[in-house]
Structure 1
Amino acid sequence: MESLEDPYNYLASTWNFNNNTEGFICKFNGVECWHPDENRVLNLKLSNMGLKGEFPRGLRNCSSLTGLDLSVNQIRGPIPSDISNILTYATSLDLSSNKFSGDIPTSLANCTYLNRLKLDDNMLSGEIPPEFAWHMRLRTLSLTNNELSGPVPNFNYSSVSVSYGNNRGLCGGPSLLPCSSHKHLHLHLHLTFKVALLLAFLLSFLCVLVYTMCCRSSSRTRTRMKPAKFNHQDYTFKYVCSLIRWKMRPLVYYIRQLLPLHLQLNGTQQIALIMERLTSTMNLEELNDATESFSIDNAIGVGKMGITYEGVLSNGFHLAVKRLSDPQLFERQVLLEIRILRNIQHRNIVPLLGFCVENNERILVYQYASNGRLSKWLHPVEAEPMILTWPQRIKIALGVARALSWLHHTCNLHIVHLNVSSECVLLDEIFEPKLSNFGEAKFMNPNKHDDLGMSFYVEDGKKDVYDLGSVLLELVTGKTLKELVCLCDNADFSGDPSIIYDAVDKSLIGKGFENEVFTLIKVACECIQAIPDERPTMLQVYNNMSNVWGERHGVIDDSDMLATGLEIVSATEIVEL
């Protein structure tokens, strides 16, 4: 293990080779032996220890080793080409979540006892060795989130579980383009990239030109008047350049629309193919019964994708059933919601209980939130006056910030919502907020790709920060950001905050919460800065809010204790807990 650095001394604390007694190795951290009194190593479990360096070739001395787990470390370089000689008897090998690069060595297929191989979340390139398809004992092969390319071997999927998502260059496997079409697509993507590069150069030139003009204008102005306190040309330059930089990152994604129509249709057909292969977890008949044949009397919300109905199962369990009005138009959004919500679980994110894909029906089933959308409470109709108390508003603000911070910084998918508003915040019976509507969401990780091989080029979450600021202001004032466009520019928070009394919801005045109200306005105004670089990260926003209000209002953050996986269940399995 000399090739590995141990910065946190997880190994050094117990790995002492000065002891010559029989079985002393078995007491090392991460070591499992065939027998505690013998120095024959059975498994090495060194996951998440911060280890750095290259693959430890010294493992060849562990001639009886059957299991090796080096996942979630910082091991880089190639996987040894003679790894079958190093791990002759390995049955399980986990090298996931490291920085391994280069090709997958063909000799891995010569580890004839291997039945579990995990190489996901690395930087591996080249093709998947076709010999893997002939491996007699292999049962699990995970290759997701790498840079692999070429045809997928013809696996027997009934006997081996293979995952290879988010490798933009792969083709030929289930849910992938045929290899001939894939090569054609990448040729056009290469041309598209050149167009994007040219546009980037032109926009960069424009940025420099604007700066030069601003500087000349400033120079002429200084000869006629005293320097101003506020440097307008610097701010203008920062704003223009920031705008250009933030818009350039998703440019390649948008330029995809320049592709020939038949290639765009290939993408649409690919999504339709995936949808057809999805196995419904709830059947149409039971959802029809639960919603009384989708009666308009059971409708609880209307959105651009369709109508959401309240449903009640025979066991009394309440559901929110979203039925798409135009399934073909929103199939990508449905697929994204299923893929995201079936793999995450958080107390401030609405649970997806199941879905139905039958004929032309596309239906998503969520946990029912009895208090409905936040927008209903902030903009009630006159006939139904509805008032949120300040503690309830703080609870909602913290919950939404917690969900977004978790999505950005803790969740292993690193998701950007991109559609945050009071319309997509649902409230349960105790006014705990549940973030919904993930149909526009994207992945922050640049290694994540969609099914068309296109990267999700997105900002680093600053769009969500801006949208959260808008929701916070709406919570305080009951008005949308468009109605409050001048609020932050005119408010002097270092002086008398009474200048914005007229904007604050009247139900909050005189209750002793004025200082807290204006503190939340400050947080909101930091979030809606015009220049994205000047906005805080979502984690900074949440930590700031939690430090101010978490203990005061009895809000405990246990989001890091929640699991990231969620199983989709059938209607018959949903019971009251």
Structure 2
Amino acid sequence: MLMAGQSTETDILCLKSIKNSLEDPNNYLQNWNFNNNTESFICGFNGVECWHPYENRVLTLKLSNMGLKGQFPRGLQNCSSLTDLDFSFNELSGPIPSDIARILTFIINFDLSNNMFTDEIPMSLANCTYLNVLKLNNNMLSGEIPMQLAALRRLKEVSFANNYLSGPVPLFSTTVDSNYVNNSGICGGSLRPCPLRSDKCSDFLHSFKSGLIVGYVFSLTCSVMLTFMFYSKCVQFKKKNNYVNKAKELGKYVCSIVSRRTQVVVNQVHKYLQPRLEHKEIKEISVLFERLTSTIWLEELREVTDCFAMDNAIGVGKMGMMYQGKLRNGQLLAVKRLFDSKMFKKQFLLETMILGRYKHKNIVPLLGFCIEENERLLAYTYMSNGRLSKWLHPLKSEVKRLKWPERANIALGIARGLSWLHHTCDLGIVHFNICSECILLDDNFEPKISNFGEAKFMNPNIEDDLGITFKVHDGKKDVYDFGSVLFELITGKTYNELTRSSTTTDFYDNPSNFYNAIDKSLTGEGFEKEVCAVLKIACECVKPTNQRPTMLEVHNNLSNVMKAQYGTSDDSNSTGGLEIASDIIIEEIVEL
């Protein structure tokens, strides 16, 4: 009888290393018992097939859909006779080893699909000369597909679909069943032609990004002005006066935010230039995000924005420049072009994941995204009335002032959106950066929450390597920020601006402290009682963390105040008390 000690010890070592290196939350590998010393005992393990029923030599590993977690197990190199490996539909992460051909010397069928592998496809795959089937679809792979794969004569099927790959595809000399869908940067072969490298807009990209990022650290305003000058290489402007006015207008906008944002950007440069991509966050995108189908070609976005002409620039933020565009069907777009795809990788992923998965009346709609070459662009529905901050702090004196009914509706809409994100959305999303600059207004002044690049998750089932970076226990930070926006709607100043010179730490305890700061345009219109009630709610929002209400409580009490104004609820609730109204339920905040 052939015992374990006489069998292929390296294969046993191989399986031991797989079990030890991977998390198995569903206990599918529970019957991998290495204390057994019977003949061919490993051949009875789940997912293991042997060359011969009397020999512990692994031929096939089919470990699909087991919920396995971890990185690619390098111990597979000890399964020296392995020909078929299937890790599909798991939660494996990190890069595919660069020396994969040495680990899987005789591999024929290789399936890593529907995981969360990152980085580039290793070039050494071209040395797996026995390879017949290669499936890498539905991961988060980036970079180019190695052209050397075209030399694999036995290859019959490849799938690279649903990744972030770019560049030309391999030109196989034999008939290969290939799938490249949903990789916006892929080109060549039977796909669209690859763009010429001499394209002026592409040539200009590097100087554009570099100039503006450096400008953020040293002088935002100068950087933007230089950018306007450099863009003359890409676009010839016929209306010089309009160009100058646009530059001045954007320059003023930059000046208005530079004092508050420069240090933030400097900190983010240090924080997010790290090359690694958090694999747990990637899993949330690949599984929960359900992948956007609305990918948009870079050429299309160049066309609708006139090659990102400054005449179409409508704003600039810490992540990128915003442009107005118009599709052929007449639909208006707002296109955000990131300054640096690597620096703002986390923000881009969060933005696409959250806005691509969730739709709500008070969340800005994401129409699509573009990942091509080094470009990262996001296309949103155009909001004709722009940022809330523009209306509360207009650069032009002729801009009309918002009346109280409009401000009250904006406050209620923001609260509705945040309540939905906190209490109804399955991820439990905390925006973490609510301010008047990230609230957009549509034609009817309905507020839309935007800029989810700093968001965090309350759902305890959502995990990530950095823990606190992407997770938070509650939404009290949003409650505070929303309270500050309420102060801004009522007084024209944020809570910090109102209390900056005060030596009293509990300024919020007495709403009367803020009566003199109420915007004069809101007085004498018959809304004083409602304004004071909302001011009281704002004071509750900025209290210490353990004393703040939840966003659902804030939304319910704001709703009571608005109803009381129009005689649809008891006057007893119009003072803005913090009782949770029994007639306002959570479903109300799900309105689309």
Give the TM-score, by structure 1 length. Answer: 0.52
> 8 Å contact 1:448–1:455 — kept in the other structure?
no
Q: Distance in 2 between matches of 1:527 and 1:283?
A: 43
**Which of residues 83, 91, 108 is equivalent to 1:164?**
91
Q: Identity of aligned pairs, percent? A: 50
Amino acid in the other structure paired with 1:360: N
Partner of 1:426: 440
Q: Distance in 2 between matches of 1:362 and 1:266?
A: 18
- The change in CA–CA distance for 1:441 and 1:155 in structure 2 (over 3 A counts) is farther
Q: Distance in 2 between matches of 1:429 and 1:488?
A: 40
> 8 Å contact 1:310–1:319 — kept in the other structure?
yes
Partner of 1:63: none
Partner of 2:231: none
Amino acid in the other structure paired with 2:297: N
> 8 Å contact 1:272–1:331 — kept in the other structure?
no
> 8 Å contact 2:280–2:463 — kept in the other structure?
no
Partner of 1:536: 549
Q: How many angstroms does 1:445 deviate by?
A: 1.9
Q: How many angstroms does 1:279 deviate by?
A: 8.3
Q: How many angstroms does 1:455 deviate by?
A: 6.7
**Which of residues 539, 549, 555 is equivalent to 2:562?**
549
Q: Distance in 1 between matches of 2:28 and 2:329?
A: 54
- The change in CA–CA distance for 1:266 and 1:273 in structure 2 (over 3 A counts) is farther
**Which of residues 368, 389, 393 is equivalent to 1:375?**
389
Q: Distance in 2 between matches of 1:303 and 1:280?
A: 24
Task: After TM superposition, list the pairs within 5 Å mapping 1:395-406 onto structure 2.
Answer: 395-406=409-420
Q: How many angstroms does 1:439 deviate by?
A: 0.4
Indicate the SS of the match to 1:354.
strand
Q: Distance in 2 between matches of 1:514 and 1:435?
A: 27
> 8 Å contact 1:373–1:427 — kept in the other structure?
yes
Partner of 2:323: 309
**Which of residues 19, 27, 40 is equivalent to 1:104?**
27
Indicate the SS of the match to 1:502.
helix
**Which of residues 519, 537, 551 is equivalent to 2:533?**
519
Partner of 1:58: none
**Which of residues 401, 408, 421 is equivalent to 1:394?**
408
Q: Distance in 2 between matches of 1:272 and 1:536?
A: 32
1:512-540 deviations in whole A, cap 9, x for unaligned?
100110111110111111x2111111111
**Which of residues 370, 394, 409 is equivalent to 1:356?**
370
Partner of 1:323: 337
**Which of residues 431, 446, 453 is equivalent to 2:460?**
446
Partner of 1:219: none
Partner of 1:342: 356
Partner of 1:473: 487
Indicate the SS of the match to 2:337.
strand
Q: Distance in 1 between matches of 2:467 and 2:489?
A: 40
Q: How many angstroms does 1:450 deviate by?
A: 3.5
> 8 Å contact 2:335–2:377 — kept in the other structure?
yes
> 8 Å contact 2:285–2:353 — kept in the other structure?
no
Partner of 2:573: none
Q: How many angstroms does 1:482 deviate by?
A: 2.8
Q: Distance in 2 between matches of 1:452 and 1:382?
A: 44
Q: How many angstroms does 1:500 deviate by?
A: 3.9
- The change in CA–CA distance for 1:274 and 1:493 in structure 2 (over 3 A counts) is closer
- The change in CA–CA distance for 1:314 and 1:129 in structure 2 (over 3 A counts) is farther
- The change in CA–CA distance for 1:401 and 1:307 in structure 2 (over 3 A counts) is same
Partner of 1:198: none
Q: How many angstroms does 1:550 deviate by?
A: 4.7
- The change in CA–CA distance for 1:371 and 1:265 in structure 2 (over 3 A counts) is closer
Q: How many angstroms does 1:379 deviate by?
A: 0.3
Tell me whether 1:175 sits opposite 2:116 in the alignment.
yes
> 8 Å contact 2:91–2:116 — kept in the other structure?
no
Indicate the SS of the match to 2:357.
coil
> 8 Å contact 1:306–1:322 — kept in the other structure?
yes
- The change in CA–CA distance for 1:390 and 1:328 in structure 2 (over 3 A counts) is same
Amino acid in the other structure paired with 2:27: I
Q: How many angstroms does 1:284 deviate by?
A: 0.8
> 8 Å contact 2:360–2:590 — kept in the other structure?
no
Q: Distance in 2 between matches of 1:534 and 1:311?
A: 45
> 8 Å contact 2:116–2:279 — kept in the other structure?
no
- The change in CA–CA distance for 1:455 and 1:287 in structure 2 (over 3 A counts) is closer
- The change in CA–CA distance for 1:155 and 1:284 in structure 2 (over 3 A counts) is farther
Q: Distance in 2 between matches of 1:402 and 1:104?
A: 42
- The change in CA–CA distance for 1:287 and 1:275 in structure 2 (over 3 A counts) is farther
> 8 Å contact 1:447–1:455 — kept in the other structure?
no
> 8 Å contact 1:346–1:559 — kept in the other structure?
no
Q: How many angstroms does 1:135 deviate by?
A: 6.6
Indicate the SS of the match to 2:415.
helix
Q: How many angstroms does 1:104 deviate by?
A: 3.0
Q: How many angstroms does 1:548 deviate by?
A: 2.1
Aligned length: 349
Tell me whether 1:483 sits opposite 2:497 in the alignment.
yes
- The change in CA–CA distance for 1:522 and 1:342 in structure 2 (over 3 A counts) is same
Amino acid in the other structure paired with 1:533: N
Long gaps (5+) in structure 2: 1-23, 33-44, 50-59, 77-83, 101-111, 120-266, 570-583
Give the TM-score, by structure 2 length. Answer: 0.51
> 8 Å contact 2:335–2:378 — kept in the other structure?
yes
> 8 Å contact 2:388–2:437 — kept in the other structure?
yes
RMSD between aligned residues: 4.4
> 8 Å contact 1:352–1:366 — kept in the other structure?
yes
Q: Distance in 1 between matches of 2:370 and 2:589?
A: 31
Partner of 2:470: 456
- The change in CA–CA distance for 1:470 and 1:296 in structure 2 (over 3 A counts) is same
> 8 Å contact 1:345–1:562 — kept in the other structure?
no
Q: Distance in 2 between matches of 1:455 and 1:149?
A: 20
Task: After TM superposition, list the pairs within 5 Å mapping 1:179-198 onto structure 2.
Answer: none
- The change in CA–CA distance for 1:357 and 1:451 in structure 2 (over 3 A counts) is farther
1:477-503 deviations in whole A, cap 9, x for unaligned?
111223211599568858xx5x64431
- The change in CA–CA distance for 1:433 and 1:424 in structure 2 (over 3 A counts) is same
Q: Distance in 1 between matches of 2:517 and 2:426?
A: 40
Indicate the SS of the match to 1:321.
strand
Q: Distance in 2 between matches of 1:371 and 1:394?
A: 16
Q: Distance in 2 between matches of 1:437 and 1:453?
A: 21
Q: Distance in 1 between matches of 2:508 and 2:293?
A: 54
- The change in CA–CA distance for 1:142 and 1:314 in structure 2 (over 3 A counts) is farther
Amino acid in the other structure paired with 2:407: R
> 8 Å contact 2:416–2:589 — kept in the other structure?
no
Task: After TM superposition, list the pairs within 5 Å mapping 1:272-291 onto structure 2.
Answer: 281-291=295-305
Q: How many angstroms does 1:547 deviate by?
A: 2.2
Indicate the SS of the match to 2:481.
helix
Q: Distance in 1 between matches of 2:509 and 2:70?
A: 56
Q: Distance in 1 between matches of 2:418 and 2:31?
A: 40
Amino acid in the other structure paired with 2:357: N
Q: Distance in 1 between matches of 2:400 and 2:463?
A: 43
- The change in CA–CA distance for 1:420 and 1:131 in structure 2 (over 3 A counts) is farther
Indicate the SS of the match to 2:349.
helix
Higher relative contact order (CA closer than 8 Å, sequence separation 6+): 1
> 8 Å contact 1:278–1:357 — kept in the other structure?
no
Q: How many angstroms does 1:558 deviate by?
A: 6.0
> 8 Å contact 2:424–2:590 — kept in the other structure?
no
